[in-house]
Amino acid sequence: MKKLAIAIVDENKLLTIRLKLFLIQEELGSVKTYRSINELLEEKTGFDLTILKEEIFDYSLFEKLPDTIFLLISDEVKNTENSKIFYIDTNFTNAELKQEISIISFLKNYEKEVEEKNNKLKEALAYITNQEEMAANKQLNMIFDNMSFKKIENYYFDNYYSPKDKLSGDSYIAWHIDDKIYIVIIDAMGKGISASLTSTLTSGIGNYILQNNNSLKNFLENYIEYIKKILLDDEALCMTIFKLDLKCNEIEIANFGMPPIYIKKDYEVEKILTNNYPILKSSKREIVIDTYKKDFDMILISSDGLIESANKEGIPYFANLKSILPKTDFLREIIKDFKQNAIQDDDTTVYAIIKQQNNYEIIYEKSFFFSSKKDLDNIIHEIDVKLNEDETTKQKFYLIFQEIFLNIFEHAYRKNYDKQEILQKNQDFSDIKGEIHIKICKNEEYFNIIIKDQGRGFDVTNILKLENRNNFKRFHRRGLLVLLNIVCGLFFEDNGRIVHTFIRRKNGN
């Protein structure tokens, strides 16, 4: 047993000498003596045990000396439940003192053991948390998505990927190659490291095979053979493979035990149900691929996290989805409703393909040249005069213009230009001579604001992959995240030089 570090506080030298001699003789610990509490506090040494008369003790000492146990010499030995205070009679015998110190020594040693174990546990937890964070980041890096937040031909592509915990059992591929769109959503059985490993590995290899196979059947045969090899005996994998040929609007679907694919057209929603069983190690069934030629306004592909997460009454979000889907053209509106009404209890991945609508009329269109912030402000003032909308809608317009204009300043015309620097007074922007083209369209429900610049553009791929992570502070594209909170849709075209934003009109449904 480890010996105690003991402090004795007493003005009476006789008591001090008696105590010190006894403690040293009995080898009960190392001893230091003090004439007063202040003298002890000044030294700031950590003691396991402090022996003092009750009359000089006060409860503020708990805070000042948090690691010590107090043995109070008192005329009246009291019972206390406070494990930091022990009493001994003023006329104590050596045997009584030895007994009290043995108990305190046992307690202190036990306390130290627990503390050491706690520290080791904390270290282990910190290690696991750090590893999980790194693995989650790697998992995000391994998601192959060159379509999200983009407008490609007449389609807008939007996604929502939200792991329940750090690591996700969901993964996805969203790949645009040779006029074809491939969307693969994978949901590995279970949660945690094993499920995330399965889903991430399969999305990684899936992407590799995908890029080397134009036929969905060839892709699937190769892909599923690989998946079967890595599955454990009692594991299952659900996934949806969706292909859209942009040239002929042909859709091919192989759905292995995933939720239905929702196809919305003119306020009507059709469900395309799963056409294959989940994939098992022992699966030997023929793969079914169904082909459709369908006109649509929006196609929604999701993992079960979206439809099975329940609201406070326990009703799955599926019920909400049925009612909201016919009323919206955009995934963001569904996700906003999902966040408000459902308690996410599983990894959730949703992908939306939104077809450009032809019922928008142009209400404003103009090109502007600018070489200063004032020029940009003047554009906002000019458009503001023409907007006959309520205050909330107008403020959304202002925010869209501010965020996109500053992004154009920041990225389009100068390198390494910091947004905070742009906002500093007396900055010289004489080297910037830019052009912005603005088009505002509306239909019955939405405004579509299209802003085009002539700058360098930027790589849109993956820019918003981390939107659902709690890393806003480190995120460099805060403007886009702020915009995503107020718009129904945000899409880039022509390497980011064209930005399409959609906001709902107040008088829309």
Partner 1 sequence: MEIKQNGNTIEITGTIKTISDSEKIIDAVNSIKDDIIRIKIHDSYVLPSSIIGNLLRSIDNGKQIVLGVKSELLEELIKDLKLDKAFNLYRV
> According to the binding rule CB under 8 A, does residue 495 interact with partner 1?
no
Q: In whole angstroms, give the CA distance from residue 381 to residue 378.
A: 5
Indicate the residue among 120 and 366 with the shorter CB distance to partner 1. Answer: 366
What is the layout of strands, in order, in the sheet containing 348-355? Answer: 268-272, 261-265, 298-302, 348-355, 155-162, 150-152, 489-493, 498-504, 446-453, 434-442, 361-370
Q: Do residues 186 and 201 touch, judged by C-beta distance below 8 A?
A: no
Nearest to partner 1 of 213, 402 (CB atom): 402
Rounded Cα gap, residues 171 and 197, in angstroms:
10
Decide if residue 406 touches partner 1 (CB under 8 A). yes
Applying CB under 8 A, among 21, 55, 423, 456 the residue interacting with partner 1 is 423
Q: Say if CB 444 and CB 461 are below 8 A apart.
A: no
Counting contacts by CB under 8 A, is residue 82 touching partner 1?
A: no
Angle between helices 94-141 and 13-25 (to 10 degrees): 70
Q: Is 398 in the site for partner 1 (CB under 8 A)?
A: yes
374 lines the binding site for partner 1 (CB under 8 A): yes
Q: Which of 142, 152, 387, 481 touches partner 1 (CB under 8 A)?
A: 481
Name the CA radius of gyration of the chain, rounded. 34
In eight-state DSSP terms, residue 310 is B
Rounded Cα distance between 14 and 170, Å, is 75
Rounded to whole angstroms, the Cα distance separating 42 from 134 reads 46
Q: Please identify which residue in 419, 437, 465, 505 interacts with partner 1, judged by CB under 8 A.
A: 419
**Binding string, residues 436-475; x marks residues near partner 1 by CB under 8 A:** ----------------------------------x-xx--
Stretch that binds partner 1, among 70-78, 152-160, 216-224, 380-388 (CB under 8 A): 380-388
Q: How far is the CB of 409 from partner 1 (least distance, A)?
A: 9
Note whether 479 binds partner 1 by CB under 8 A: yes
| Look-up of token digits 């609508």 | 357
Q: Tell which positions 122-181 bind partner 1, by CB under 8 A.
A: none
The backbone torsions φ and ψ at residue 379, rounded to the nearest 5 degrees and listed phi first, read -60, -45
Residue 381 sits in the site that holds partner 1 (CB under 8 A): yes
Q: Is 396 in the site for partner 1 (CB under 8 A)?
A: yes
**403 near partner 1, rule: CB under 8 A:** yes
Residue numbers of the site for partner 1 (CB under 8 A)?
373-374, 376-377, 380-381, 384, 391-392, 394-396, 398-399, 402-403, 405-406, 419-420, 422-423, 425, 470, 472-473, 478-479, 481-482, 485-486
